[in-house]
Amino acid sequence: MKTNIQLRYSAHPDDVKNWGTEQLRKEHLVTPLFEDNTVNMVYSLYDRMVAGGAKPVGEPLRLEPVDEVKAAFFLHRREIGIFNVGGPGKVTAGDKVFELKYKEALYLGSGDREVMFESLDINHPALFYFNSATAHRNYPDRKVTGDDCITAELGSMEAANHRIIKKMIVREVLETCQLQMGMTGLKPGSVWNTMPPHTHGRRMEVYFYFEVPEGNAVCHFMGQPSETRHIWMKNNEAVLSPQWSIHAATATSNYTFIWGMAGENLDYGDQDFFKQTDLR
């Protein structure tokens, strides 16, 4: 197995105004995530969030205690949320084993134990996408399925943003220190997510886009409302959204994305919205 880790620094919005496409992508795009028998991750200085992916093919993969966490175990002072977006798989955390089907999630609280990723079908390997945030105490591990989450239906076909939001790792479902994660699926014919756009002054966010049909692309919008920027993305890629940045996207087809947040509070509705007509 192999582990790759990248360190990403936080940036001032006045600096980002002067960046071209290449630097914007270099600092905020998280790719590749899934490579055979490899754990890829980015350690971001935006709220010290880690975003990563693991693809075990014929052998289990260990969540390594990379140098950036300065601990003997990755979860020594961290919590983690894991989504399976591939074939059937399992996650072993110490002496506990959790089997995850497609679109099922797992929360692991902080604590010293080995974490292993494994596929149950070598011909259809699991794809484990994860976010990890610092944690000041331990909360119980828990698997979360579509039956356990809070589901909301928002938007409309007329506005091209008819979507289903599944809040899976949120305080109304389970206890966490600061991590929140969920999944939003766009209905056929809808392409806009999170519109009107908003910022999270108290939290950063990571968007992971998947179920993007072959030959299609997602345009993720970021930057300050008066100085917007965009990043074109493909299937199975993630993007870091700073606290001062808007969160919004459109695409050439409907798609699904996993959102993950970390920061000052656990209030899902703590957002500052902006009118579409005020964007520049």
Q: What share of the chain is helix, strand, coil (3-state, %, to 5)?
A: 5, 45, 50
Which two structure tokens, joined as six digits, stand for 8? 């990403």
Map out the domains of the chain with their CATH numbers: 2-12+31-144 (2.60.120.520), 150-278 (2.60.120.10)
- Return the pLDDT at 275: 84
Neighbours of 142 (CB within 10 A): 17
What is the per-residue pLDDT across 55-74, written as a single tens digit (0 to 9) for each? 999 999 999 999 999 999 99
The Cα 72–Cα 171 span in angstroms is 28
What six digits make up the tokens of 127? Answer: 């794809």
Distance CA 86, CA 73 (A): 26
Instruction: Give the CA distances from residue 102 to residues 86, 126, 127, 146, 234, in Å, rounded to whole numbers and listed in that order.
Output: 6, 8, 9, 10, 20
Written as six digits, the tokens of 81 are 């949320």
The Cα 249–Cα 191 span in angstroms is 8
Q: 3-state DSSP call for residue 196?
A: strand
Residue 248 burial (CB < 10 Å; 0-12/13-18/19+)? buried
Q: Residue 255, Cβ neighbours under 10 Å: how many?
A: 24
Q: Which residues pair with 237 in a beta bridge?
A: 209
pTM above 0.85, yes or no: yes
Top pLDDT among 279 and 63 is at 63
Confidence check: pLDDT of 200 > 90: no
pLDDT tens track for 135-173 = 999 999 999 999 999 999 999 999 999 999 999 999 999
Q: Do 225 and 197 meet the contact criterion of CB atoms below 8 Å apart?
A: yes
Q: Is the pLDDT of residue 250 over 90?
A: yes
